[in-house]
Amino acid sequence: MSQPIKIKNALISVYYKDGLEPLVKLLAAQGVQLFSTGGTEQFIKDLNLPVTAVEDLTGYPSILGGRVKTLHPKVFGGILNRRGLASDQEQISTYEIPEIDLVIVDLYPFEETVKAGGTAEEIIEKIDIGGISLIRAAAKNFNDVVIIASKNDYPTLQAQLEEQNGETTLTQRKAYAKKAFHTSSHYDTAIFNYFNEEEPLDVFKQSVADAKTLRYGENPHQGAVFYGDLDAMFTKLNGKELSYNNLVDVDAAVALIDEFEDPTFAILKHTNACGIASRPTVKQAWIDALACDPVSAFGGVLITNVEVDLATAEEINNLFFEVLIAPSYQPEAVELFSKKKNRVILQRNNVELSKKQFKTLLNGVIEQDKDLIIEGPEQMTTVTDKAPTEQELKDLHFANKIVKHTKSNTIVLVKNDVLIASGVGQTSRVDALRQAIEKAASFGFSVAGSAMASDAFFPFPDCVEIAADAGITAVLQPGGSIKDADSVAKANEKGIAMVTTGVRHFKH
């Protein structure tokens, strides 16, 4: 049953006025009596349209600095009364309460004020009371009332009222109510999370207002949706829509590149770096990163922390890749990349990222702080007779940045600010080391004189012995094994340097 309702009276009270004019003019043209408050009332008057102040309806002015405007039985009775219930109709007649059939209201910009660094007082004053109450009341009574809680719905309602001669159907009203409850719950979640930053309660609440349906998930038989504002994070200059796997790799790429300050290029495959180099120029960084593993680089995600010029673009253009990310591009570089319509070219914008991460697990959700620390030379403790050289310390630092963002168990080998090989996601650390050594050799790299980083301690001295025999001269590990002394003794026996950091970087 459609249950069409003709709109006779509308309450309009919004913070943002953009997009409101055409809808208000239509309502007035259809003979709807308009009630409003403050700035919205003046907005309607400036359109030379008739409007009744809410304070004339209630008999009370706006008080307490605007904190109380609409909180009155004549407003909420008008919204909440049930048209089909005789007792409700008798009461609104007794108290001269008009039936309000349409509520258009938005909320004070709480999230925006927090993001802008507002003072505590400014933030608190942006906690909407009347607006949230109006939204919930109208949405609760969707059987008889239309609730519009977002300016994005103005055009849709306008089209419906034009086509249906000022009426709405029950299905339409229920759809608006669902959107309204999303608006109110999202708003309350933002407020709760603001208050929950200090001495937090052990509860999990997240609300993301933007959603994008993806073609599929990790595999074609899996559905997937991305919740977030990608347009704020990136400006897409070319290419198809990002897939689930693209997004996972892009996330890993952004986290990795943010560890580096010098001009750096990284190539990732399945969230792991298969090539990364820091060099004086972006072109040389690309060339040296690609040389690490040109086979795995095919179809990879590429990222740099400096502008991509045409000369670098011409080098990159020789490789098939899925996604390229940079803070900026020369126009000629974008023109070159755009000749292939499917490759995704993203310009990264300056967006603050969350310091938390979470995922579903078993019958719940697991949340943790992001791994946001990295140990440089000043946090490295030499535990062997031989100390690392200045270049070895630099390479150990470089390797440690990579190992932090590589799947465990992992070993990373670096020489002169270039990844020369890594062992990724192995079930034993020895396997990871052997994989790295063999991979380096397969692409013509000598590991002699390289620096090695491990994401966790060595339970036995076997990795140290294998590394030393291969020519690796400096090793970084967190330490903490009950057999640390055995690994240190083996390093001394082999004449290589070892440092510990006291920080483990597992990545499962």
What CATH number does the domain containing 312 carry?
3.40.140.20
Give the C-alpha separation, 196 to 280, whole Å.
Answer: 45
Q: Is residue 57 part of a domain?
A: yes
Same-domain status, 321 and 467: no
Please give the pLDDT value at position 61: 79
Q: Is residue 397 part of a domain?
A: yes
Give pLDDT < 70 ranges for the chain.
1-2
Please give the pLDDT value at position 6: 92
Q: Which amino acid is at 125?
A: E
Please give the pLDDT value at position 210: 87
Instruction: Answer with the one of 306, 332, 348 that is the final residue of a domain.
Output: 348
Instruction: Answer with the one of 330, 348, 366 that is the final residue of a domain.
Output: 348
Same-domain status, 101 and 28: yes
Same-domain status, 343 and 440: no
Please give the pLDDT value at position 229: 92
**Active-site residue identified among 6, 270, 386, 507:** 270
Q: What is the pLDDT of residues 401-430, one digit of tens each?
A: 999 999 999 999 999 999 999 999 999 999
Same-domain status, 19 and 106: yes
Same-domain status, 456 and 334: no
Q: Is residue 398 part of a domain?
A: yes
Same-domain status, 136 and 258: no
Q: Is residue 222 part of a domain?
A: no
Same-domain status, 168 and 61: yes
What contacts 368, CB < 8 A, 6 or more positions away? 356, 357, 358
Please give the pLDDT value at position 2: 63
Could you tell me how many helices (H) and strands (E) the chain has, helices first? 20, 23
Give the C-alpha separation, 379 to 142, whole Å.
Answer: 61
| CATH code of residue 146 | 3.40.50.1380
Same-domain status, 151 and 13: yes
Q: 26 and 189 in contact (C-beta within 8 Å)?
A: no
Same-domain status, 92 and 140: yes
Q: Is residue 428 part of a domain?
A: yes
Q: 423 and 406 in contact (C-beta within 8 Å)?
A: no
Structural domain range at position 177: 5-196
Residue 303 burial (CB < 10 Å; 0-12/13-18/19+)? buried
**Active-site residue identified among 17, 140, 182, 507:** 140
Q: Is residue 79 part of a domain?
A: yes
Q: Is residue 362 part of a domain?
A: no
Same-domain status, 253 and 317: yes
Known catalytic membership, residue 140: yes
Neighbour count for residue 217 (Cβ, 10 Å): 15
Same-domain status, 258 and 148: no
Same-domain status, 413 and 271: no
Domain count, the chain: 3
Q: Which amino acid is at 253?
A: A
Q: 148 and 103 in contact (C-beta within 8 Å)?
A: yes
Please give the pLDDT value at position 153: 95
Q: Is residue 444 part of a domain?
A: yes
Instruction: Answer with the one of 196, 217, 246 that is the final residue of a domain.
Output: 196
Known catalytic membership, residue 508: no
